[in-house]
């Protein structure tokens, strides 16, 4: 009976860790911007910019990887017009 508890505990732990590992991989993606001829590394910083873009365009959040390529290109065009310095105010101490 003790072995069953240990085995079930290990399986439950593994089942809980898999979604965390998968979501961490989503942030390591690179997207090629064919109009801008560059790559965009998708991380928390880029996700913040994407959410700002969606807010300005009155759109609901969808994972970027699930958005149609034409809409991804529209975002990349917007992103090149809005550099980090304009989007994220850095506090100087």
Whether residue 70 is contained in a domain is answered as yes
Query: Would you say the pTM of this structure is higher than 0.75?
Result: no
Per-residue pLDDT of 48-91, as tens digits, reads 999 999 999 999 999 999 999 999 999 999 999 998 888 887 65
What is the structure's pLDDT at 17?
66
Asked if residue 93 is part of any domain, the answer here is no
Contact predicate 26/63, CB 8 Å: yes
Residue 26, domain extent: 2-87
CA–CA dist 37, 73 (Å, integer): 11
On whether residue 20 sits in a domain, the answer given is yes
Q: How many domains does the chain have?
A: 1
């Amino acid at each position: 009976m003790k072995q069953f508890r240990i085995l079930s505990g290990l399986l439950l732990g593994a089942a809980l860790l898999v979604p965390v590992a998968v979501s961490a991989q989503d942030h390591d993606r690179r997207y090629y911007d064919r109009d801008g001829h560059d790559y965009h590394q998708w991380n928390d910083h880029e996700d913040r910019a994407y959410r700002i873009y969606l807010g300005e365009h009155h759109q609901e959040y969808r994972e970027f990887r699930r958005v149609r390529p034409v809409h991804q290109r529209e975002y990349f065009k917007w992103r090149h017009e809005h550099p980090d310095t304009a989007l994220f105010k850095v506090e100087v101490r």
